[in-house]
Amino acid sequence: MIWQGLLKHYKSYLPVTENTPELTLHEGNTPLIHFPNLSEELGIELYGKVEGINPTGSFKDRGMVMAVAKAAEEGSKSVICASTGNTSASAAAYAAKAGLKAIIVIPKGKIALGKLAQAMMYGAEIVEIDGNFDEALKIVRKLSETSPITLVNSVNPYRLEGQKTAAFEVCEQLGQAPDILAIPVGNAGNISAYWKGFVEYHEKKQTGLPKMFGFEAEGAAAIVEDRVFTEPETVATAIRIGNPASWELALKARDESGGQIHSVSDEEILHAQQLLARKEGIFAEPGSCASIAGLIQQCKNGSIEKGSKVAAVLTGNGLKDPQTAIDQVKVDPVSLPNDEQAVRDYVEDRVKA
Mask 48-67, x = binds ligand F0G (CB under 6 A)? Answer: ----------x-x-------
Shortest spacing between CB 219 and ligand F0G, in angstroms: 15
- Pairing between strand 32-34 and 45-50? antiparallel
CA distance 132 to 137: 9
CA distance 110 to 137: 15
The H-or-E segment that residue 34 falls in is strand 32-34
Among 97-105, 168-176, 182-190, 327-335, the segment contacting ligand F0G (CB under 6 A): 182-190
Single residue of 187, 234, 243, 260 touching ligand F0G by CB under 6 A: 187
If one counts every other C-beta atom within 10 angstroms of the C-beta of residue 247, the result is 17
Shortest spacing between CB 189 and ligand F0G, in angstroms: 3
Q: If binding is defined by CB under 6 A, does position 86 make contact with ligand F0G?
A: yes
Taking the CA of residue 82 as centre, how many other CA atoms within 13 Å lie in the half-sphere pointing to its CB? 27
Single residue of 144, 154, 156, 308 touching ligand F0G by CB under 6 A: 154
Q: If binding is defined by CB under 6 A, does position 80 make contact with ligand F0G?
A: no
Burial class of residue 8 in the structure, from the number of CB atoms within 10 Å of its CB (0-12 exposed, 13-18 middle, 19+ buried):
middle
CA distance 234 to 288: 13
Q: If binding is defined by CB under 6 A, does position 83 make contact with ligand F0G?
A: yes
Among 67-75, 79-87, 124-132, 139-147, the segment contacting ligand F0G (CB under 6 A): 79-87
Strand partners of residue 50: 314
| Contact call for residues 95 and 68 (beta carbons, < 8 A) | yes
Single residue of 100, 124, 181, 188 touching ligand F0G by CB under 6 A: 188
Single residue of 176, 190, 257, 263 touching ligand F0G by CB under 6 A: 190
Binding site for ligand F0G (CB under 6 A): 58, 60, 83-87, 154, 184-190, 238-239, 285, 287-288, 315-316
